[in-house]
Amino acid sequence: MRIILTGGGTGGHLFPLVAVAKKIKEKLGPEVEFLYVGSGLAMEKNIMAEYGILTRHVLSGKMRRYFSLQNFTDFFKIPLGFLQSLWILLRFMPDAIFSKGGYVAVPVVLAAWLYRIPILIHESDSIPGLANQFLAKLANRVAVAYPSAEKYFPAEKLALTGNPVRFEVTDGDAVMLRTQLGFTASKKTLLVLGGSQGSQVINKAIVTILPQLLRSYQIIHQTGEQNFQQVTAEAAQQGVKAGHDGYFAVAFLNANQLRDAFALSELVISRAGASFISEIAANGKPAILIPLENSANDHQRMNAFALAKIGAALVLEEQNLGQHLFLEKIEEILSNENLKQQMSAKIKTFYHANAADVIANGVIELARM
């Protein structure tokens, strides 16, 4: 059996693709072949290589709701990407397509539809993007993570599955990581995540209040590859040396490091991408979510407020990250054990433990049609 994986080049798309691919391989054995078709970003190649999945890339044009000169150049990329997709699919000739959406998936799914290859798409966010709303018309089946997304898709194709989560991000070893980092058991630990590429906004907000935070707490801070040097330099200006006195900064946490960090932490501060929310929910951690202000279709803000509505997370907008309010909200959660337990219980309701398994079964069924 041959399966093509496709979707936008962010961790939020790539990790669910990998999670489902692993489930398919568990069910079918080593004879199943995967090919990922993306935009050619280094992150795509690195993550897929880690799991032994071959990659190809195509040109793709982004569909924007606003005026941009890139709309004109991207217009010409779409037909070229479509021709590239036709050639890739002709050579690989998959039995099914599993798409996470995003503009890079459009030419691939279009080509699959033309070849009459079965298609399953998955929507991670509470409000679907333009690409998936369009691709749903071509897909055989549509899986969604949030009930609020159901109204955007044909009911006869739809299943509420939740978001697939890498199994490696649960059941971490808190004691081992605490020992490795030289942290103490007497202080609570915060985990700071800015998305797969880091967040300058979150980094700046955390570094500004580092001295105050470190009086009471310990911090694991994923900065993003491009931001690491700047963050550690700015921390040093605050009198804080990374790797000492309860502050551990790292450019990127791999899956094993991330699961141990989740296990050790008592509060997660994060962007509101669908995959990170699912991973936080899988670990049942209270969270402060800071939505990306200019995310596509405002999906991060909608994701965050879907959780805030039931008390599963606290949401702070970027413009409200003043040091006094930020510090106050962190202390409000960490100093209130009842609040922590309530948030933990409520955020767990957003975790569907069998999401990857259900979607994998769907892809296999389509491939056998």
User: Looking at the structure, do residues 161 and 172 belong to the same domain, yes or no?
Assistant: no
DSSP secondary structure of 330-343:
HHHHHT-HHHHHHH
Pair 161, 180 in one domain: no
Q: What is the pLDDT of residues 8-31, one digit of tens each?
A: 766 678 889 999 999 999 999 988
Tokens of 365: 């069924």
Residues 126 and 35 reside in one and the same domain: yes
Same domain membership, residue 26 and residue 159: yes
User: Do residue 9 and residue 93 come from a single domain?
Assistant: yes
The Cα 301–Cα 290 span in angstroms is: 8
pLDDT of residue 276: 87
Instruction: Clarify whether residues 154 and 214 are in a common domain.
Output: no
Q: Is 245 left (phi over 0), alpha (psi -120 to 50) or beta?
A: left
Q: Let me know whether 55 and 122 are in one domain.
A: yes
Looking at the fold, whether 112 and 184 belong to one and the same domain comes out as no
Task: Please write the tens of the pLDDT for every residue from 162-216.
Answer: 999 877 788 999 999 999 999 999 999 999 998 666 788 999 999 999 999 999 9
Same domain, 40 and 133: yes
Average pLDDT over residues 136-164: 94
Q: In angstroms, rounded to a whole number, what is the distance separating the alpha carbons of residues 235 and 249? A: 10
Looking at the fold, whether 73 and 181 belong to one and the same domain comes out as no
Domain with 133 in it: 2-165+352-367
Cα 271 from Cα 344, distance rounded (Å) = 17
Checking DSSP bridges between strand 158-160 and strand 188-193, what pairing results, if any? unpaired
- Report pLDDT for 293: 81
Report the C-alpha gap between 86 and 217 in whole angstroms.
54
Please give the tally of structural domains in the chain: 2
> Are the CB atoms for 120 and 143 separated by under 8 Å?
yes
Asked whether residue 181 falls in the same domain as residue 212, the answer is: yes
Q: Is 159 helix (H, G, I), strand (E, B) or coil?
A: strand
Q: Taking each helix axis from N to C terminus, what angle separates 200-208 and 228-237, rounded to the nearest 10 degrees?
A: 20
Shared domain for 108 and 25, answered yes or no, is yes
- Which 8-state DSSP code applies to residue 162? -
Q: What is the CATH number of the domain that holds 62?
A: 3.40.50.2000
